[in-house]
């Protein structure tokens, strides 16, 4: 990156790193790539890189930040976005957007302040350099609190609460690493927005890639769900009713109202965050983020009467058909949370430190 009159000028290398910036869009315009021409061998390298971006997101939840050809890297991003959008799977869209965002965050941690400022300006942040030393920490930037809150709200860590931050004159002071983490949230939402579009008829060669990637994702879907489950919660200790409900949601199928309530209240009760529970429901075809978030927050005691709800008793779940059948532990307890605590003790006694 170079600078002209104090403003950053992004090079082709920078555009390869950050293909969502407006300069990259300008770079793509003269190329005027026609979807119907993508079957040509001229685009083999771009299509291969686009497919690999998505494969890396599926398998590793991070797009590789190493590449050999800047032009191919820049062009592959919008093609990858088109392919994921065509796959039309909300879970895959979310995973791909997060993987691209993590790639950006990793790259920004090693960037000069000027380029971070340039990326921040892409999202209309009110930010300025601020070299302040407080104890062992060095704060590199000062960000307006509204931009901070817009992104920090989605991060589940106490250090991101505004009350735990250094704030002065409406600005929140950030390290370079923290600034990169907040920009990750901006990029994630940007990519998700790009993926939320209908894709028309594609050439067979592209459709084949879409089908291939969808098949790979379906193969890994169950494993990915368990990988994303918060540490400290032991799935092997779930009662049969909750395990069945969890598996049903994870596979993209719907639950009855009481089934959703039982699953949500159970997960909240054993320590799962509101954000993680909301994410669990994203794979449903009727997912509505605003409504789902409201309902989960209500069950968690964050809205309405501020009452934190617990799951219904076992006899209630049996009455409403949520219970798939009792095992030996079920016969000795009357509540899903009692099952979880008892099973957890057994697991930890038999194999200390083991987690599902």
pLDDT digits (tens, 9 = 90+) for 291-306: 999 999 999 998 877 7
What mean pLDDT do residues 154-171 have? 89
b or e along 15-45 (b: 16 or more beta carbons within 10 Å of the residue's beta carbon)? bbbbbbbebbeebbeeeeeeeeebeeeebee
Question: How much is the pLDDT for 178?
Answer: 96
Residues 6+ apart with CB under 8 A from 235: 226, 229, 243, 246, 356
> How far apart, in whole angstroms, are the C-alpha atoms of residue 292 and residue 294?
5
Question: How much is the pLDDT for 305?
Answer: 76
Question: How much is the pLDDT for 350?
Answer: 67
pLDDT over 90 at 48, yes or no: yes
Q: Between β-strands 167-168 and 7-9, what pairing exists: parallel, antiparallel or unpaired?
A: unpaired
> How far apart, in whole angstroms, are the C-alpha atoms of residue 184 and residue 151?
9
Question: How much is the pLDDT for 352?
Answer: 47
Question: How much is the pLDDT for 355?
Answer: 40
Each domain of the chain, given as residue ranges in start order, spans 2-107+191-220, 110-182, 232-350
pLDDT over 80 at 276, yes or no: yes
b or e along 231-252 (b: 16 or more beta carbons within 10 Å of the residue's beta carbon)? eebbeebbbbbbebbbeebbeb
∠ CA 232-238-242, rounded to 5°: 120
Q: Which residue has the higher pLDDT, 55 or 8?
A: 55
Q: What is the pLDDT of residues 164-177, one digit of tens each?
A: 999 999 999 999 99
Residue 146: its H or E element: helix 145-152
Question: How much is the pLDDT for 354?
Answer: 42
Residue 141: its H or E element: strand 137-144
Q: What is the pLDDT of residues 66-100, one digit of tens each?
A: 898 999 999 999 999 999 999 998 889 989 999 99
b or e along 3-13 (b: 16 or more beta carbons within 10 Å of the residue's beta carbon)? eeeeebebeee
């Amino acid at each position: 990156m170079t600078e002209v009159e104090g403003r950053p000028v992004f090079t082709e290398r920078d555009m390869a790193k950050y293909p969502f910036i407006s300069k990259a869009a300008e770079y793509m315009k003269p190329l005027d790539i026609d979807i119907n021409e993508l079957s040509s061998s001229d685009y083999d390298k771009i299509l291969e890189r686009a497919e690999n971006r998505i494969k890396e997101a599926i398998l590793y939840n991070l797009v590789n930040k190493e590449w050999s050809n800047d032009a191919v890297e820049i062009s592959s991003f919008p093609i990858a976005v088109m392919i994921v959008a065509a796959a039309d799977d909300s879970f895959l869209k979310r995973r791909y957007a997060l993987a691209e965002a993590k790639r950006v965050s990793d790259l920004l941690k090693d960037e000069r302040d000027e380029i971070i400022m340039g990326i921040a300006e892409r999202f209309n942040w009110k930010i300025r350099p601020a070299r302040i030393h407080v104890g062992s920490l060095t704060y590199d930037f000062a960000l307006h609190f509204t931009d901070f809150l817009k992104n920090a709200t989605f991060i589940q860590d106490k250090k991101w609460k505004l009350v735990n931050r250094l704030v002065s004159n409406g600005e929140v002071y950030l390290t370079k690493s923290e600034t990169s983490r907040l920009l990750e949230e901006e990029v994630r939402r940007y990519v998700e927005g790009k993926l939320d579009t209908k894709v028309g008829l594609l050439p067979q060669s592209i459709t084949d890639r879409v089908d291939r990637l969808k098949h790979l994702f379906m193969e890994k879907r169950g494993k990915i769900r368990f990988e994303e489950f918060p540490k400290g919660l032991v799935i092997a200790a779930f009662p049969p009713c909750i395990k069945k409900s969890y598996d049903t949601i994870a596979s993209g199928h719907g639950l009855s109202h009481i089934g959703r309530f039982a699953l949500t209240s159970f997960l909240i009760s054993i320590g799962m965050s509101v954000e993680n529970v909301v994410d669990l429901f994203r794979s449903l075809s009727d997912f509505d983020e605003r409504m789902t978030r409201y309902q989960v927050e209500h069950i968690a005691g964050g809205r309405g009467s501020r009452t934190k709800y617990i799951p219904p008793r076992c006899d209630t779940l049996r009455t409403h058909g949520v219970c798939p059948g009792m095992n030996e532990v079920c016969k000795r307890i009357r509540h899903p949370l009692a099952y979880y605590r008892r099973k957890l003790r057994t697991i930890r006694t038999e194999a200390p430190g083991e987690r599902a």
